Structure 1
């Protein structure tokens, strides 16, 4: 934690020999400066990214989540009726299938905050080219607790499956990054990225329902992990009401079958405040987000 210290008071002595010289102006301080503070960018993500990178609380939440899940995992495996897939994603009966855990990747397994930090520094917004370049660096670190949890699962014969909305051409880079970060990867089939073909299932946008159905044909899913609601269940309408409706039947599963991780830097929660219209100007999106705030 960095503490803010009071500005140092400077003493100035006017010498007779310099009487003809204009006096030196004291350095501006918070108490003396009349300049207006700089206005943050409309979509300023600074605090959220700084929290993700520097707050010990952020890391403790991840550790707490994965440790709690690990403590529950073997009991879930022994319960033959235990399944963490929504009923709409269960294509075949789960009983008798091999056990698995399903994890999202970005901000669930891998930390991409350096990419967000670069956007803050450049003043830019997310774009596919820069994102792909970052992914191909394969330098994203594993988030706290996830390596230990996934290795524990693999050691006990539980398949570790990653479902991500990274583009298809990032498959190899993503697998390489996962391995580099120490995460178990049984093979390419353990990673289901965007564009994965699932027979007899039509994918809606970036929703993961079809890929969860694909997993359900071979596995009994013990737990799911993600930082977005869509990592767990299909969200038909990405607005406040639609998001609550999608989660309502499964609230008892949160903390036992579903483990939700924090992401204040980006996510489907943000466009839900401006009607999912990314084509709107940044200032307009900013205005609508302010309107969505509560003031009492």
Structure 2
């Protein structure tokens, strides 16, 4: 029998050499996954994504507007019903024509495409890009808004639109509202933008109190709807506590005479968290927000 030992040894050495050639060296660096380029992180991404894609967003709007419509019919039957803040009502409202007051942006018109562009482009709000968006006149009605305003108009209730859009956007805003199908009374000015002059009332910043008082001179306000606290009452101190104080005497009015719509993308609630100082770097603003969180 031939001696096979040398052959087996050679075969074993060859196999070991093959394994060594295919097995990664223990000290070799692991493969690194390629970095996929993308947009910079943006604090508003989740809020805008929720606004545009979550069915919960639409359901909330429909829920609020449906309940507001039910309250509207109830308020029409009660001649003493009034939704103006107590300090803004002068004289009796019983004999005045009925009206409702609505904010525009994120209350009746959806501006989330503008917010989405800011997220996509890594930018922040500025008056120029905002003006460009408004002049496109393409903002769509939010769920339930058309049905509610048309119900009000059909019942003889004047629909007033209060907005803090600049005066040079008045025409574009009215055109957008009309294109979207909202009722616009022609017998009286029903769009009151920022800068509206009200005799005998000195406006503070962008607060809407003077404009509400102007409406209250000729109308009994049945309901108010908006996405910001200032859509209902003037906020004297825009701090978390100051905002609570502003509505401390009106808790029972929400869901009865005042209806708040959800807007997580922007609002005066945000600068209240960092002392209203937009000049601060974003890192400081973010740190101030983190300080407000409860753990």
Q: Report if aligned partners of 1:229, 1:235 keep a CA contact under 8 Å in 2.
A: yes
Q: Report if aligned partners of 2:39, 2:120 keep a CA contact under 8 Å in 1.
A: no
Q: Secondary structure at the match of 1:204?
A: coil
2:256 equivalent in structure 1: 256
Q: Is residue 2:288 matched to residue 1:288?
A: yes
Once the two structures are TM-superposed, the CA of residue 197 in structure 1 deviates from its matched residue by 0.3
Equivalents in 2 of 1:38, 1:134: separation in Å?
24
Equivalents in 2 of 1:264, 1:143: separation in Å?
15
Once the two structures are TM-superposed, the CA of residue 44 in structure 1 deviates from its matched residue by 1.7
2:247 equivalent in structure 1: 247
Q: Report if aligned partners of 1:92, 1:216 keep a CA contact under 8 Å in 2.
A: no
Once the two structures are TM-superposed, the CA of residue 74 in structure 1 deviates from its matched residue by 1.4
Once the two structures are TM-superposed, the CA of residue 35 in structure 1 deviates from its matched residue by 7.3
Equivalents in 2 of 1:175, 1:98: separation in Å?
23
Q: Secondary structure at the match of 2:247?
A: helix
Q: Is residue 2:59 matched to residue 1:69?
A: no
Equivalents in 2 of 1:201, 1:254: separation in Å?
26
Equivalents in 2 of 1:215, 1:173: separation in Å?
22
2:217 equivalent in structure 1: 217
Alignment of 1:172-191 (within 5 A): 172-187=171-186, 189-191=189-191
Q: Report if aligned partners of 1:171, 1:193 keep a CA contact under 8 Å in 2.
A: yes
1:75-112 per-position Cα deviation (integer Å, ceiling 9, x unaligned): 10110110000011113321100000000000000000
Equivalents in 1 of 2:153, 2:62: separation in Å?
18
Equivalents in 1 of 2:40, 2:286: separation in Å?
11
Once the two structures are TM-superposed, the CA of residue 33 in structure 1 deviates from its matched residue by 5.3
Q: Which has the larger radius of gyration?
A: 2
Q: Secondary structure at the match of 1:249?
A: coil
**Runs of at least 5 residues in structure 1 that lack an aligned partner in the other structure:** 1-15, 23-27
Alignment of 1:150-229 (within 5 A): 150-187=149-186, 189-229=189-229
Q: Secondary structure at the match of 1:189?
A: coil
Q: Is residue 2:120 matched to residue 1:109?
A: no
Aligned-residue CA RMSD (Å): 2.3
TM-score, normalised to structure 1, is 0.86
Which runs of structure 1 show a deviation greater than 4 angstroms over 4 or more consecutive aligned residues? 32-40
TM-score, normalised to structure 2, is 0.86
What number of residue pairs does the alignment pair up? Answer: 268
**Runs of at least 5 residues in structure 2 that lack an aligned partner in the other structure:** 1-17, 25-30
1:81 equivalent in structure 2: 80
Equivalents in 1 of 2:34, 2:177: separation in Å?
51
Once the two structures are TM-superposed, the CA of residue 36 in structure 1 deviates from its matched residue by 11
